[in-house]
Amino acid sequence: MQTITIDWDHPTDPRRSREREHVRDYVSTGGLDGHLWHGVPTLLLTTLDRATGRTGRTPLIYVEDAGRHIVLAADWGAAEHPAWYRNLTAHPEVRLQVGAAVFQATARTACAVEREIYWPAMTALWPLFDDYQASASPREIPMVIISR
């Protein structure tokens, strides 16, 4: 059986310029500039691309609970799940940067009960998530729980 080496240290940054700039500021300042984005906490999620084997990095708003990080695969209310979400369903090992801390973690889709519990916390932090869900319908925006 062949061992796959994942290059977590050289991920591809987002294509959208506003997201790419956010990521670069976040990384270059160790999270000092970028962890809080429009007043809300963000993290950087690095996933393995299931097609290319390369890693890619995405900034996401998060809620933390009991050491777990909760994010939404909202993609601004797009009709399809974002690539990073499809990638982590195929390969749940991820890397997070939360402020200055960088660590490996495992991601999974939240169950219905967890979604019910955490959705209000996510929308309290970023009310537009309700609008994104309305735009994405009938797609249900996945909630992702990330644990060390």
The model's confidence at residue 5, banded by pLDDT at 50, 70 and 90, is confident
The model's confidence at residue 3, banded by pLDDT at 50, 70 and 90, is low
The pLDDT assigned to 6 comes to 87
112-125 vs 128-136: helix axis angle to the nearest 10?
130
pLDDT in tens, 82-138: 999 999 999 999 999 999 999 999 999 999 999 999 999 999 999 999 999 999 999
User: Alpha carbon of 128 to those of 8, 38, 132, 135, 143: distances in Å?
Assistant: 31, 13, 6, 10, 15
* pLDDT over 60 (residue 1): no
Domains of the chain: 17-147 (2.30.110.10)
pLDDT in tens, 8-28: 999 999 998 999 999 999 999
